[in-house]
Amino acid sequence: MLELRDVTGGYGRITILNGTSFTIPKASITTIIGPNGAGKSTVFKAIFGLLSIHSGQILLDGEDVTRRTPAEMIARGVTYVPQGRNVVPQLSVYHNLELGGITSRDQARVKRRIEEVMDQFQILREFKDRKAIELSGGQQKQLEVARALLLDPKLMLIDEPSIGLSPNIVQEVFQTLIRLRDLGVTILMVEQNAKAALAMSDYGIVLELGQTRMHDRADKLLKDPRVGQLFLGGHVEETV
């Protein structure tokens, strides 16, 4: 589905990605972990066309999309849920959802998709006429994820979905991502709660100083003592 080949890039003269390489299989969940400043969110911006790429390639289904714009990436079935709150506070929940399909020419289909998405997020249906600013932080994050689903993405980039959410809501979001994966959507996620994220993922990537240090099945990374000590809060069982 997605491949990065020795990607370097950053902001102005500051280089953040230093030859990042990895592949993401179709219909899988992959979580990127690493220390602050490792370049985790920067990878997403590079993929989505929000960052200047100095060298290297980004391939989507074998097509070079290295310097595509966000609009072009959306047209290719890529959606991006960034960190923080990214709703329009004075608009209703329903109108925020409509914004997710604003680029579609088939608005009747968008309305049908809104109904389908609200079936997955019942709290949004209940509060569909409320202003987004009246929702809790967790409810706003659910709204962001729901909005990203409207155009049936084949690849979803989701950055730190657990920020500001209670453990129960985090698990609801994770279960939604698992359902999407089972429907064929490829998920690439950055998550501060590394242990919980790897536990529900198929693959994991350890990023450090803008380079891929480890890339393996998530269950193997969870058992790796190096990963346990550095990123998972202490000792984990060593592999045999």
Amino acid 176: pLDDT: 81
- Digit-coded pLDDT (tens) for 43-72: 999 999 999 899 999 999 999 999 899 999
- Digit-coded pLDDT (tens) for 181-210: 998 999 999 998 888 899 999 999 999 999
- Digit-coded pLDDT (tens) for 73-103: 998 999 999 887 788 999 999 999 988 877 7
- Digit-coded pLDDT (tens) for 92-132: 999 999 888 777 777 888 889 899 889 888 889 999 999 99
Q: Tell me the pTM.
A: 0.87
Model confidence at 232, pLDDT cuts 50, 70, 90, reads low
- Digit-coded pLDDT (tens) for 5-18: 999 999 888 899 99
Residue from 238, 196, 158, 211 nearest 18 by CA: 211
